[in-house]
Structures are given as structure tokens and as C-alpha cells.
Amino acid sequence: MLYNITYTIQNTKYKIQTNNMILPSQEKYTIYTKSDCIYCERAKKLLSNDDPLIINCDEYLLTREIFLEKMDKLTPFPHRTFPFIFHKGKFIGGFDDTKIYYDENNSQLNFNDDEF
């Protein structure tokens, strides 16, 4: 049985399960990343002005199958590539999906596509 615990960092509440898997923020962007992932770096750069919650998943990937099972419970469909990006608790997708979502929701901002 898993128990949810709520904790606060810099006035932002986060929920964490007893297995230390941090759940997506209900208040801002959450990026689940891993080391040596160019799309993870691009997502962090794209969302940097929004102060996203960034969760490095390297330790979770030691048990990849268990990690993916947990992520499947958070996403409406199986997603198998990094990053996993959420906005206010809602799964958006990977970097490409997030770039489209971000551009649609921030149309007043102009980004040079060559940067990403």
C-alpha cells in the first residue's frame, strides 16, 4: 500500500509517494528527465522562465519496468521516451508535444525554432 505525503519547498506543495517517486505538480510544469538526454535539456530551456519542477529519474531507471508502470498510471497513454512533461498535473507528452502546447498557450512569446 502506498501513502501520499505532502511537503512544501519554497511555498509550493508537492505530493510524494512513500517510494520517493515525486508526483507532478498541480501548480506548474513538471519535467521528468534523465542524464544525457538532449530533449530533456531542450525542455528545461523552453520552460526555464516558468520555474518548472525538474525531477531527475536516473535513480528510478535502475528498475525501468517499475518506473514505466508508475508513469503509465500518470499518463493517459503509454509514453516511452524522455522527457515526460506535465502542466498542472496534466500529461502533455515529450519535448515536441510540449513545444506545440507551450507555443499555443504563450503565443505572445516568440522563440526562434533554431534554438530548440
Instruction: Give strand pairing partners of 32.
Output: 55, 84
In a domain, 98, yes or no: yes
In a domain, 7, yes or no: no
Give the whole-angstrom CA distance, residue 29 versus residue 48.
Answer: 10
| Mean of pLDDT over the chain | 81
Q: What CATH number does residue 85 fall under?
A: 3.40.30.10
Of all residues in the chain, what percent carry a pLDDT higher than 70? 74
Longest dimension (CA), the chain: 47
Residue 12 scores a pLDDT above 70: no
List the domain range (segments joined by +) for residue 39.
24-115
pLDDT at 46 (0 to 100): 97
Domain count, the chain: 1
In a domain, 2, yes or no: no
In a domain, 8, yes or no: no
Using the 8-state DSSP alphabet, how is residue 18 labeled? Answer: T
Collect all residues with Cβ–Cβ distance below 8 Å to 42 and sequence separation of at least 6: 95, 116
Whether 46 contacts 109, CB under 8 Å: no
Whether 55 contacts 30, CB under 8 Å: yes
Angle at alpha carbon of residue 64, lines to 61 and 68, rounded to 5°: 110
In a domain, 3, yes or no: no
Whether 83 contacts 93, CB under 8 Å: no
Give the tens place of pLDDT for each residue, 75-104. Answer: 999 899 999 999 999 999 999 999 999 999
Higher pLDDT: 107 or 99? It is 99
Whether the model clears a pTM of 0.85, i.e. scores above it, the answer is no
In a domain, 77, yes or no: yes
Residue 23 scores a pLDDT above 60: yes
In a domain, 96, yes or no: yes
In a domain, 52, yes or no: yes
